[in-house]
Structure formats: C-alpha cells, structure tokens
Amino acid sequence: MEFVSIDPATAEELARFEAHDAQATEHAVAAAHDAHLEWRFAPFPERARLLRAVGRILRERTDAYAAHMTREMGKPVTQALAEVEKCARLCDYYAEHAEAQLAPVQADTDASKSYWTYRPLGVVLGIMPWNFPFWQVIRFAAPTLTAGNAVLLKHAPSVPQCALALQTLFRDAGYPTGLFGNLFLDVDATGDLIDDPRVRAVSLTGSVRAGKAVATRAGAAIKTCVLELGGSDPSLVLEDADLELAAESCVLGRMNNTGQSCIAAKRFVVVDAVRDDFEKKVLEQLEGWTMGDPSDSETRLGPMARVDLRDTLHDQVRRSVDAGARLVHGGEVPDRPGAWYPATLLADVRPEMPAYSEELFGPVGCILSAADELEAIRIANDTSFGLGASVYTADVQRGERIAADLLDAGNAFVNGVVKSDPHLPFGGTKESGYGRELSPLGIREFTNAKTVWVR
C-alpha cells in the first residue's frame, strides 16, 4: 500500500510514501515501549517544559504547518492558521494544568494513609482522521504524552506530509527518541498493532464503521479504547430566537472546514412559526460562502478533501431530492478538476431521506420543520448519533434546560456554534462514540487510577 498526498483543489499528486513493513513497525513499537519505561518517571516540570516547546514550535512554524493542511486536504488557509494556534493553546493548557489534574487524591479509610494516583498505561495508539490533521493529533497526543505514556500515530492515508511534520515537531521539541512515532499502516497492519501486548490503549477519531472495527479488536484484547466518531448535529431554532444570530451561527457551523467536521451543524430543526424567515436569512448568509482557492486568505469555502468523498455527498443530496427534499441552493458538481462542491441547502427534509438519517460530511445544510419545541426536541434526538447539539432562543434559562436535560448529545450549546475547548470535556454518546478528550477527564483516559493503601 502507498500513502499518496493529492492536492484536492487541483487533483495534482504531491508526494507518495510506502507503508511501513513489519520490521519498521516492530522497531517503532519497541522504541516507544522502551522510551515509555523511562518517560513515566519524568517529573511534571520536565513534561510541561517539553509541551511548552511544542506550543512554541507550532507558533514559529504556523505558516508551514498551515500550508501542509491547505495542500493535502484543501483547508482554507485562514482556517488552517487558526487550527495551528488552537493546537498551541492546547499545549499551553496542559502544560499549566496537567500536574494538578493528575495529582494523587487522598481518601479517608481505615489505613494510616490511602489515596489513588493516576499512572500512565504505556504505549497508546492514535488512529487519526484527515479533516483536522493537526488538531486531532495534538488533542490526543499532548495529554497522552504528558500523562507519561508513549504515542504511536497512525494518521489518515491522505495526509502523510502532515503526519511526518507532526513526528518532526515532537522530535524537535526534545521528546525522547521513540516516544512519539509515526507509522504508515494499512488496515490489517493496524489491527495487528492493536493486538500487540505492548500497545495498551487506542484512541480513534473516525467513522462509525471504523469505530466498530477498532472497538471490537481492542475489546478482544481487553484494552482501553476512546472513540470519537460521526455526528449529525441538530441546531434547534425556536420561535423566540434571534434569527440573524441563528442563521449566521448555523451557516458558520455547517460550512467551516468545508463542512467536514463531526460537530458541524448538519440539521437545522426550525419551528414552523419562523421557518420561512430563517430560510431567507440562511440564504443571505450562504452568499458569503463561495468556492475559492484555499491558499487565498479571503477564501472561506475550499474544496472537499477527496473526490470520492465529494461524490458520496452529492449522491446523498441527489437521493434526498429524488425523495422529495427541496433544493434551495447549490447542489451541482462543478465542471473542474479537484474535489469541489458548492455551499448547498436542502429544505423540507423528512425521515425517508438520506439527509435526515445519514451523516452528510460536506457543505450541505438541511432544514427540518417542527411544529413546536416538543417536536423540535424529538426530531433533534431522532438520530443514531449524539455528538453535538445547539439551541437558539431568547430565553436563556429555557435554552439551558433543553441543552442540559433534553438533548441526547455529549456537547450541547445555547445560542452558539458547537466547538471544542481544552477546558471542557469533548466526546459523544450513542454511535458518536465513548470516552472523553480534553479537560481533566481527557488526560485521565489513558491512565490507571491506582489505589494505594498503607498501614
């Protein structure tokens, strides 16, 4: 198998890499295991020092790293620059807070001294996606390393240059040799790696199908597994919502990263009383999301990451329209090289349509009508996914009640776009996965909460 880097804006091949063979994989696993045996005893000030170095290098090389993302998966350069800075802020967060988050917790028992402590597991495999090729890796690796583990990265095949840049980043920051390793592996070799007894845990961000396969393999080996999978996030727009804010936020949440985000605002669930006005305002917002050269700082909507993904999305749109959805905007494949697809809006979306039940991973928004708040909540939860959700209302207490108690999702926002933040846990429920990243919960996922009892 080869890992090929292709510019989705032009369909030009950029680079090609051979998969690692069994000998190279064994070398990387052994090096990671040996490095962990020393690293697990590194004092927290040293761990924080190296993580701050990662943040510093990210900021020093922002332009270069952003260019990698733009070339390999079409991310508009302004969004790529923001992604690199977000990675650096994550490093700042854990460098400052990791020691306190992993501090021993005292307990009052019959012992003269008893507590629990968070000890690292060992080598952790990260299987990461192409859509946020730096953020997803840093989000996983920074806390995992700072907890005392080693990391092996199996990145998406379409972003090999990003993967190599990340390996170099951790090397240049001064981490011990082997502690962060990149491997180009096919599916079978990845499964074998999960089976390896030196690999103690797995983190996957990807599709539901991939999540089921990894969870099955990790479960059979009785290994910790964190899954962040797909989403079909609803945005509830109630009758008292600020429609300007709701339309702007929904379109931003849907179109950012060319719609290729698990927490994109994929379904706009709008009560009938404001549905027509909301549709008009969404159309006005979409005028600002025209396709353009992703290397241009003025571009907001670039190409999709791959032609096959674009074709899958268009097929979902076409089948939804054939089933009765109303095509309001976009929906036509441009006649040009590359993985281009325009900002698209579907309305009158109902349960029998792909746009209702399937995840649309690209720049396609869908309006679903609801008679009232109760029906809007029912429709929002009528999905196999449960990653993010948002609600727009002038009554903040009403919105908080819906978000906290009634929306079946791991992340629920009121009057704002769903996003990840280092201070808050991030993850989903139902087919969106399990486990949490970010916050104190994220850094503890790949640790052994060990009880110590002393008389």
Q: What does the pLDDT look like over 376-421, one tens digit per residue?
A: 999 999 999 999 999 999 999 999 999 999 999 999 999 999 999 9
Could you tell me the CA-to-CA distances from 57 to 79, 133, 163, 250, 334 in Å, in that order? Answer: 19, 17, 16, 34, 39
pLDDT of residue 1: 82
pLDDT tens-digit series, residues 269-305: 999 999 999 999 999 999 999 999 999 999 999 999 9
Q: Are 182 and 126 in contact (CB under 8 A)?
A: no
At position 195, the amino acid (one-letter code) is D
- Per CATH, 2-229+429-454 and 233-414 having the same topology is answered no
- Residue-level pLDDT at 23: 98
| Strand (E) or helix (H) holding 154 | strand 150-154
What is the rounded distance in angstroms from the CA atom of residue 439 to the CA atom of residue 135? 15
Question: Whole-number mean pLDDT of the chain?
Answer: 98
Question: Is residue 73 within 8 Å of 259, Cβ to Cβ?
Answer: no
> What pLDDT does 426 receive?
98
List, in order, residues 6 or more apart from 189 with CB less than 8 Å away: 19, 20, 22, 25
Tens digits of per-residue pLDDT, 131-147? 999 999 999 999 999 99
Give the whole-number percent of the chain exceeding pLDDT 70: 100
| pLDDT of amino acid 438 | 98
Angle, helices 62-73 vs 160-172, to 10°: value is: 160
Contact 68, 161 (CB under 8 A): yes
Q: Nearest-CA neighbor of 324 among 346, 292, 298, 297?
A: 346
- Is the pLDDT at 334 greater than 90? The verdict is yes
- Distances in Å between the Cα of 377 and the Cα atoms of 265, 350, 417 are 15, 15, 18
pLDDT at residue 6 in the model: 97
Residue 116 has pLDDT above 90, yes or no: yes
- Taking alpha carbons only, the member of 262, 294, 286, 282 closest to residue 362 is 262
Q: Residues 19, 217, 429, 320: what is their CA dihedral angle, to the nearest 10 degrees?
A: 60
What's the confidence (pLDDT) of residue 358? 97
Q: Which two tokens stand for residue 103?
A: 């501090």
Distance of CA 12 to the CA centre of its chain: 26
Dist. CA 18–CA 417, nearest whole Å: 40
CA torsion, ordered 403, 270, 310, 295, to nearest 10 deg:
-70
pLDDT, tens digit (0-9, with 9 covering 90-100), for 161-214: 999 999 999 999 999 999 999 999 999 999 999 999 999 999 999 999 999 999
Whether domain 233-414 has CATH 3.40.50.300: the reply is no
Residues acting as catalytic residues: 228, 262
pLDDT over 90 (residue 5): yes
pLDDT at 2 over 90: no
Tens digit of pLDDT for each residue in 443-454?
999 999 999 999
182 in Cβ contact with 161 (< 8 Å)? no
Nearest 5°: the CA angle 298, 300, 304 is 130
Q: Is 213 exposed, middle or buried (0-12, 13-18, 19+ CB in 10 A)?
A: middle
pLDDT, residue 189, reads: 97
Question: For 339-364, what is the mean pLDDT?
Answer: 97
Structural domain 2-229+429-454, CATH architecture: 3-Layer(aba) Sandwich (3.40)
Domain boundaries defined on the chain:
2-229+429-454, 233-414
At 76-112, the pLDDT tens digits run 999 999 999 999 999 999 999 999 999 999 999 999 9
Report field, pTM of the whole predicted structure over 0.95: yes
What secondary structure does DSSP assign to 289-357, as a single string? --B--TTSTT-SB---S-HHHHHHHHHHHHHHHHTT-EEEE-----SSSSS----EEEES--TTSHHHH
